[in-house]
Chain A
Amino acid sequence: MNMGRAHWLYLAPALLLLGVFLVYPSAETIRLSFFGPRSETFVGVQNYVRAFTSRPMLIAFRNNLLWLGVFTLFTVGMGLVLAVLLDRVRYEAVIKSVIFLPMAISYVAAGVIWRFVYAFRPAVAPQIGLLNAIVVGLGGQPVGWLIERPWVNNIALIVVGVWVWTGFCMVIISAAYKGIPREMQEAARIDGANEWQVFRHVTIPFLKSTLAVVTTTMIVFVLKVFDIVYMMTNGAYDTDVIANRMYNEMFQFSNYGMASAIAVILFLAIIPFLVINVRRFRVQEAVR
């Protein structure tokens, strides 16, 4: 649509802030990634070589992939299920608040909450962790949920992430779901479609672009996932993730070069998802 050249007026404040707070520091990050720990000596691609060869980093890459699959699937999937189902019950507002609740909790508090879930006590003592109490109640031995590698502890961390972020997906998807004209679904039902067919052929196509946005957002958050891991294990027992490595290199180990290189790898990892998104935007604009 032709709206003249006023677009820069609309964009200017955003571009200014983005430039100052994100673009300029990223340029600085790219530069520092070729320097040593104190940003004094040029080291070429040495940081990148180390990032792709050292064992702790390889473990982090593996874990991020695991997060990417499991976390994204469950947050988006349950967000969608909840958005659709909650529309049909009268107590929608209550349940929504319950699912949203974890989003309102700071990460430090979330850490305490999950301590009460994953806590381990020997079989001889009373369990203070909910999960081990259930396990012991069923006749099992208490489990070190955050200790046992490689799957139990990583999944335990991902569960915390899903618990926090499903509320985000639910709220965004639900906002879009409320925008589906009811007549469209009713029309399909009158034509004899069952609920699954309505969901599959009316709801999903309508929500497609929102689902894409939410999925992209979750993927980006997975790449950046940090707080949960930092707080609960700080990457011990092979639970490390890329962003936690970066944080540690930067603020604990004072290795600015290495931290910057890891950050640049994060930027690069997002590019394929961006390309998919822009294609999608083109399609959206062509059909509207």
Chain B
Amino acid sequence: MTKRVLVGLLLAGLVAGLAQGAVTIMVLWSGDELAAFQKVVDAFQAKTGITVRVESVGRDLPTILATRVAAGNPPDLAGMPNPGQMAEFVARGAVIPIGGIVDLGQFPKAFVDLATVDGKVYGIFISADLKSLVWYNPDALYAEGVAPATSWNELVYITQQLAGRGKTPWAVGLESGAASGWAGTDWIEDIMLRTAGPDLYDQWVAHEIPWTHPAVKRAFELFGSIVRNDAYVYGGTTGVLSINFGDSPAILWDPVPGAYLHRQATFIKSFIAGAHPQLVLDRDVGFFVFPPIDPQWGTPLLGAGDLISAFRDTPDVRAFLQYLASAEAQAIWCGALGKLATNVNVDPGIYPDRLTAQAAEILKGAEIFRFDASDLMPAAVGSGAFWKGVLDYVSGVPLDQVLQEIEAAAQAAY
């Protein structure tokens, strides 16, 4: 009996590892996102007869992908954790350039530039998220006699007014397990774009200005003027640091609202819906664009996106890349998920709700668009010292010390 089981196990072991000859793609998606991507793959398969096998490894993707690439058996394609990581793989000579494969004219220049390293394009964005949004519960906000802010001063005024009435203006949550702090970096990036302008922002990303630069310091200070004020944020600074980013906006829709404003990207919509399933999104949920601060820089937009690169150059991989870039594929993908399309030919009618269509409209009209800086910096800074620095700052560490520590990490990393 035991013998038979063992033989069975052995056979099963040997059978695995077959099924070669298909295009493989490694992604971190699961659930709805994986199902939507599978729809894209199925459509491609139906069209070309090429088999694509999707390997979803979940949130361990950065680790698994880095290991496979270093060991010499990467998948054919993969969803990149961020452009910074893509650049790292490019530097290790692992990623193939796609300039001659995909028609880059379908994308806004900003998204092409973001996937460019040393003049060559190495990846395509199949969708984007808009980050510069402030979410609110229209009923609750209007009940307080407050309207969405159109300038930083207004925003500060609203904040003070609400706090003056004993209400908590902001819901902020920076906890995100091993990635805690990223939500705070988005705040600082948005402020930096609005106070220092896109050029200085780019220099900051490239570490051409130090972290101790007055412009960086100012962005932290403006962020701190809201988040480090215990009267302005739900739960005070300890609440900001302890409450999960995805859980934090839920209190805006509580019967007695715990807070009124929440700055977060488009994807937070699904968290709000998860916490309050009875909400009708288009009626009960609203957002306005994070307002301008220094008038000369207007209202720049901050975003992020889903980037795909290829590690092997075969005709099948080329065909799949071309398909992923197409308006047809993006319509399936973005239509199912409410992500924002990057291909300019995608029909705005695909979006599942008015909120998403509105966000897509805003993104399309962007005069200045910049990618999430922490995703562009070397990971030791962008997903390391910067995250930790934000947490340290909010928890009360003096700003100069925080900036010096990030600067030390940056000097070792660039």
Contact = CB atoms under 8 A, between A and B. Distances in A.
A–B contact at 8 Å CB threshold (below): yes
Interface stretch (A68-76, A114-122, A178-186, A275-283): A114-122
Contacts, number: 77
B319 interface: no
A41 interface: no
A249 B405 CA distance: 16
A255 interface: yes
Given A236-B391, A237-B395, A251-B63, A144 B180 contact: no
Contact of A252 (B234, B383, B392): B383
A253 B178 contact: no
Given A237-B391, A253-B379, 14 more contacts: A54-B408, A111-B177, A121-B243, A122-B234, A144-B241, A146-B242, A149-B395, A233-B180, A251-B62, A251-B63, A252-B380, A252-B383, A253-B383, A254-B88
B391 A252 contact: no
B79 interface: no
B99 interface: no
Interface string B221-252: 00000000000001110110111000000010
A235 B258 contact: no
Interface of A: 38, 50, 54-55, 111, 119-122, 125, 142, 144, 146-147, 149, 230-237, 248-249, 251-256
Contacts of A232: 177
A266 B186 CA distance: 36
B238 A144 contact: yes
6 contacts: A149-B395, A234-B178, A236-B392, A253-B379, A253-B380, A254-B85
B413 interface: yes
Interface string B54-93: 0000000011001100100000000000000100100110
A120, A146, A253: most-surrounded residue (chain B CB, <10 A): A253
Contact of A122 (B180, B181, B236): B236
A147 B238 contact: yes
Interface string B353-397: 000000000000000000000000011100110011001100100
Contacts of B383: 252-253
A162 B124 CA distance: 46
A54, A142, A144, A231: most-surrounded residue (chain B CB, <10 A): A144
A120 B392 CA distance: 18
A251 B65 CA distance: 9
Contacts of B384: 248, 252-253
Interface string B304-346: 0000000000000000000000000000000000000000000
A253 B180 contact: no
A58 B388 CA distance: 16
Interface string B106-123: 000000000000000000
B380 A121 contact: no
Contact of B62 (A120, A121, A252): A252
Contact of A120 (B67, B239, B258, B395): B239
Contact of A235 (B234, B251, B388): B388
A233 B379 CA distance: 17
A234 B238 contact: no
Contacts of A254: 66, 85, 88, 379
A269 B168 CA distance: 50
B58 to A, nearest CB: 10
Contacts of B391: 236-237
Contact of B242 (A111, A147, A252): A147
B5 interface: no
Given A120-B235, A120-B239, A121-B239, A251 B67 contact: yes
Contacts of A235: 388
Contact of B179 (A147, A234, A253): A234
Nearest to A122: B235
A147 B395 contact: yes
Contacts of B378: 253
Given A253-B413, A254-B379, A38 B395 contact: no
Contacts of B67: 251
B412 interface: yes
Given A38-B91, A237-B391, A231 B178 contact: yes
B241 to A, nearest CB: 5
A31 to B, nearest CB: 15
Contacts of B63: 251
A249 B383 CA distance: 11
A111 B70 CA distance: 30
B355 to A, nearest CB: 27
B180 A120 contact: no
Contacts of B92: 38
Nearest to B89: A254
A113 to B, nearest CB: 14
B179 A125 contact: no
A175 B141 CA distance: 64
Contact of B177 (A50, A119, A142, A234): A234
Given A111-B177, A234-B179, A252 B239 contact: no
Interface string B398-414: 00000001001000110
A23 B13 CA distance: 26
Contacts of A249: 380
A144 B242 contact: yes
Given A235-B388, A252-B383, A254-B88, A230 B178 contact: yes
A236 B243 contact: no
Contacts of B412: 50
Contacts of A54: 408
Contacts of B408: 54-55
A144 B237 CA distance: 10
